[in-house]
Amino acid sequence: MTKREFLNRLETAIILLPKSERYDIINDYEEHFRVGASEGKSEHEVCIELGSPEELGVSYLENAGVTNPAYVEQQIQARSKMDPSLKAVLIVLFVVFVLFPLAGTIFGFFAAIFGIALGFGGAAAALVVAGIYCGGFLAAALISLAVAFVLLGILLTIGGVALIQLLVKLCKLGWNYIKNL
């Protein structure tokens, strides 16, 4: 189990507690994970040491005076699940306002990068040809400039790909968040 899974399950188990109390409990357990990481422990090892998040939740609820298991289960289910129609609306909004524009942006970006790289390649070729016919120091300068153009095109492409990867990761996070509501 990962830290995020543990904390999500714990938060679901203590959903009947006031929000400020839940916040304090979750922060305490995040600190357990920080301490464990500083001691070289994996998230899984810390989870094993802490025990079942559901059992911890029951303990917190009992300390708060909530002891009827049927009531607790019913309330947890009622509070932890989002209305399916609202979830469907959120998914549609996410697709329309995030994924479609992102797909267009990615396509446009790669088309632009291809154009820039092609332009830099053409400029580089022209500079090489000019350098060959000029000779001497000017030839070396023009060929060096051509190489710089090619490297700049490559650098822009790498940066663009990294930016697209970041956007895709952010979209995955958003999608997972909506999916888990």
105-131 pLDDT, tens per residue? 888 877 887 787 777 777 777 777 777
- Give the C-alpha separation, 45 to 53, whole Å: 14
- The residue-averaged pLDDT of 72-84 equals 63
Share of the chain above pLDDT 70, in %: 88
- Give the C-alpha separation, 153 to 129, whole Å: 19
CA 160 to chain centre: 17
Task: Say if residues 15 and 75 touch (Cβ distance below 8 Å).
Answer: yes
The one-letter code for the residue type at 117 is A
pLDDT digits (tens, 9 = 90+) for 34-44: 999 999 999 99
- Comparing CA positions, the residue from 111, 119, 112, 120 lying closest to residue 150 is 120
* pLDDT at site 77: 64
Q: Specify the pTM.
A: 0.42
* pLDDT at site 34: 94
- The residue-averaged pLDDT of 26-38 equals 93
| Residues 6+ positions from 104 with CB-CB distance below 8 Å | none
CA 32 to chain centre: 23
* pLDDT at site 25: 93
Structure tokens, 40:
């070289």
